[in-house]
């Protein structure tokens, strides 16, 4: 990956809707070489995809919580079952496996506190292999979806 590839990635992080023509102009390439580099970056896995960033509050999701999860067992199958169950809960918008205790950090969105409580009581506590859940409320998003340094 060279300086031009990094410029392409930086521009796309700022605006993923750029046309290849606009992108080529911004990074100082002609259309064909820019398109080739873009395809190569996609095929290499450097670009994971393109998406729209949505405002949770505009969608009625005014509540966010971080949920820390400690598992009973951290062997292969119980971990796989737990992670598969996470994928079935759309209100979990981010999940990270951690070293040490706790085992996972979940970012959960909901309409409001009662909706979160229902999700917590009915779904999160029912996930296989959960030993302990601990949650904290998000007061404010300070840094969100920051672009990666190039």
pLDDT of residue 145: 85
Whole-structure pTM value: 0.86
**CA-angle at 125, arms to 116 and 94, nearest 5°:** 60
Residue 2 has pLDDT above 90, yes or no: yes
User: CB neighbours (10 Å) of residue 67?
Assistant: 20
Q: Using CB atoms within 10 Å of the CB of residue 130, give its burial: 0 to 12 exposed, 13 to 18 middle, 19+ buried.
A: middle
73-130: pLDDT as tens digits = 999 999 999 999 999 999 999 999 999 999 999 999 999 999 999 999 999 999 999 9
Read off the pLDDT of each residue in 9-33 and give the average, rounded to a whole number. Answer: 96
């Amino acid at each position: 990956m060279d300086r031009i590839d990094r410029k392409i990635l930086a521009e796309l992080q700022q605006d993923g809707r750029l046309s290849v023509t606009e992108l080529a102009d911004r990074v100082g390439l002609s259309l064909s070489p820019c398109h080739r580099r873009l395809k190569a970056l996609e095929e290499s896995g450097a670009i994971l995809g393109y998406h729209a960033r949505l405002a949770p509050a505009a969608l009625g999701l005014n509540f966010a919580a971080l949920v820390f999860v400690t598992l009973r067992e951290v062997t292969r199958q119980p971990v796989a079952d737990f992670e598969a169950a996470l994928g079935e809960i759309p209100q979990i918008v981010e999940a990270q496996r951690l070293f040490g205790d706790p085992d996972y950090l979940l970012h959960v969105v909901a309409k409001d506190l009662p909706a979160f409580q229902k999700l917590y009581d009915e779904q999160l506590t029912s996930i296989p292999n959960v030993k302990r859940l601990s949650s904290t409320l998000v007061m404010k998003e300070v840094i969100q979806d920051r672009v990666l340094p190039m």
